[in-house]
Amino acid sequence: MILQGTSDDRAAAVTAQEILTTTVMLKAQALMNTRGVHDGEKRAKMRKTPIKATLVSISVLVWAVGTNLATADSPSIGGYNVYYGQLHSHTNISDGQGSPSEAYAYARDTAGLDFFSVADHDYWFDDMTQADWETLKNTANCYNDDGTYVTFWGFEWTSDIPEPGYETLMGKGHFTVINSDDWCNAKEVPTNELDELVNWLDERDVVAVFNHPGQYDTTFDGFHFKYTDKIVGMELWNRSDDYYSNDGYYNDDGGLPYYDEAIVRGWYIGATGSQDNHKKNWATENEWRMAVLAPERTRASIYAAIQARRFYSSRDRNLALSFRINGAEMGSKIGGGSLSIQIEASDGDNENFSSVELLKNGIVIEAWTPGITNPNVRATATGSDGDYFYVRVYQSGENGWRAISSPIFIISENNSAEQ
């Protein structure tokens, strides 16, 4: 099922949308004014004094009026438009500040995102309720405006290390799950196990993302669990932390990051990232973005691009990147043999690209130092079944990588593979 959006005729610069939500869950969370994140050092202590929700059922009419700063001039590259956003954010439905309505409006009007999703925790602080879930879905649907601003909803499957009162947790890790009609809980049997979570995902039209790998001493079972095509990506950054420029779970693979460790174990995943906002700063903690290559700014188009892994992880708010092999864009599965490679990049602020790197199976095989704002480089290579290629780009005056593409995967010895 593709998400169906709501829209009306509005001027391109100003969005006025009537949001009618029959039931609003107002949660009295005393700590929200002082804590907007769930830092690892504080989680155990906070769990022992859970915040109880005060539920008030009311009818409310909300007007969301604002300007989507992103709609004016989304860049295009490689035959696609580039849309910037994020899928992993929190509100007072779980352990964040502000309401879902505030989050969707802020991400549109202040951060200027093209697409956005709230993905609150399944049980933290309290278990997600049906009323909570309906609030998330209804709010997302009310803010969605195909052509102007795309919204999704989801939840964060939150498998932390077990502790008293949370013995059913397995320490498996966190996933953002988007587009589901319902949700599951990481502390409830059977979906507290990774294989059972996969079974749950496979029964639904969803996409999921590995969140902040290695955080809170969680393991994802070293990426050895049942495969599902529903897991489409991994956060290479979260908040302002880099989860790419480090050694992963294994110490015998030459220092491969979590991203490559998952791919070499058979996961067809792309490069993403999210600010995981818990305060009222949705997508403005920094200028880092998930960037999607899609034909249109619509739910159906952006969702299809996410399913196709046609996205990249950017630590720049308006960097455009295209990576193609034999004409197939990042995220594709193609046949092997002789490969013709093209890498294009540009920047909305005209920043120079200091380096462009092509990686094969996690190792740089070619690098360029263009020193210009819009590099367009070509190369040739050979690939066989099981190989994968991706791109890193750097910019002058910036520390560390600026963008990393999703891979292109070689799945056969000839060019008859899926693209």
Q: Are residues 80 and 111 in the same domain?
A: yes
- Structure-token pair, residue 177: 């799950």
DSSP state of 343: E
Whether 27 maps to a domain, the answer reads yes
Parallel/antiparallel/unpaired status of strands 80-86 and 76-77 = antiparallel
Residue 106: φ, ψ to 5°: -65, -45
Classified as helix, coil or strand, 413 is coil
- Distances in Å between the Cα of 41 and the Cα atoms of 217, 309, 328 are 12, 34, 45
- How far apart, in Å, are the Cα atoms of 281 and each of 105, 121, 187? 11, 18, 29
* Residue numbers of the domain that contains 349: 320-419
Going by C-alpha positions, the residue among 419, 385, 389, 418 that lies closest to residue 404 is 389
Q: What is the arrangement of strands in the sheet containing 319-325, beginning at the earlier edge strand?
A: 328-329, 319-325, 337-347, 376-383
Q: How far apart are CA 363 and CA 303, in angstroms?
A: 30
Residues 311-335 have a mean pLDDT of 98
pLDDT value of residue 368: 98
Question: Within this chain, do residues 400 and 411 fall inside the same structural domain, yes or no?
Answer: yes
pLDDT tens, position by position, 260-309:
999 999 999 999 999 999 999 999 999 999 999 999 999 999 999 999 99
Q: Report the mean per-residue pLDDT for the chain.
A: 85
Q: Are residues 240 and 347 in the same domain?
A: no
pLDDT of 54 higher than 70: no
Rounded Cα gap, residues 16 and 183, in angstroms: 30
Q: What's residue 125's pLDDT?
A: 79
| CATH assignment of the domain containing 156 | 3.20.20.140
- Residue 7 lies inside a defined structural domain of this protein: no
pLDDT digits (tens, 9 = 90+) for 157-170: 999 999 898 899 99
- pLDDT band of residue 20 (cuts 50, 70, 90) is very low
Q: Are residues 305 and 346 in the same domain?
A: no
Using CB atoms within 10 A of its CB, is residue 286 exposed (0-12), middle (13-18) or buried (19+)?
middle
In this prediction, residues 355-369 reach a mean pLDDT of 98
- Work out the pLDDT band at 7, boundaries 50, 70, 90: very low
> Is the residue at 293 inside a domain?
yes
3-state secondary structure of 396: coil
Stronger pLDDT, 19 or 412, i.e. the higher one: 412
DSSP state of 261: H
Both 227 and 149 in one domain: the answer is: yes
Which pLDDT belongs to residue 151? Answer: 98
By percentage, how much of the chain surpasses pLDDT 90?
78
- Are 268 and 332 a contacting pair, CB within 8 Å? no
Write the pLDDT tens digit of every residue in 121-153: 999 878 999 999 999 999 999 999 999 999 999
pLDDT at 69: 55
Task: Tell whether 408 is covered by a domain.
Answer: yes
- pLDDT at position 40 is 38
Q: How many residues appear in the chain?
A: 419
Closest listed residue to residue 71, CA positions, set 27, 106, 115: 115
* pLDDT for the residue 126: 85
The answer, yes or no, to whether residue 415 has pLDDT greater than 90, is: no
CATH number, domain of 407, equals 2.60.40.10
pLDDT (tens digit, 9 = 90+) per residue, 75-103?
Answer: 999 999 999 999 999 999 999 999 999 99
354 and 225 in a single domain? The answer is no
Is the pLDDT at 177 greater than 90, yes or no? yes
Q: How confident is the model at residue 335 (pLDDT cuts 50, 70, 90)?
A: very high
Angle between helices 100-109 and 130-143 (to 10 degrees): 30
Mean pLDDT of the 304-315 span = 98
The share of the chain scoring above pLDDT 70, in percent, equals 81
Which among 141, 105, 147 has a CA at the least distance from the CA of 284? Answer: 105
Same domain, 213 and 89: yes
For residue 16, the one-letter residue type is: A
**Residue range 27-50, pLDDT digits in tens:** 333 333 333 333 433 343 333 333
Whether residues 93 and 143 share a domain: the answer is: yes
Whether 343 contacts 323, CB under 8 Å:
yes
Among 60-64, 96-100, 256-260, which is the least confidently predicted range? 60-64
Report the domain count for the chain: 2
Output the CA torsion sign for 194, 200, 202, 208: negative
Domain boundary among 254, 284, 317: 317
- In this predicted structure, the answer to whether residue 4 has a pLDDT above a threshold of 90 is no
Q: Give the whole-angstrom CA distance, residue 408 versus residue 331.
A: 5
> Which of 258, 285, 317 is the C-terminal boundary of a domain?
317
Give the residue among 380, 335, 336, 328 at the shortest CA–CA distance from 358: 380
Per the listing, tokens 């006025």 go with 16
pLDDT for 53: 35
**Which of 281, 301, 317 is the endpoint of a domain?**
317
Residue at 310 is within a domain: yes
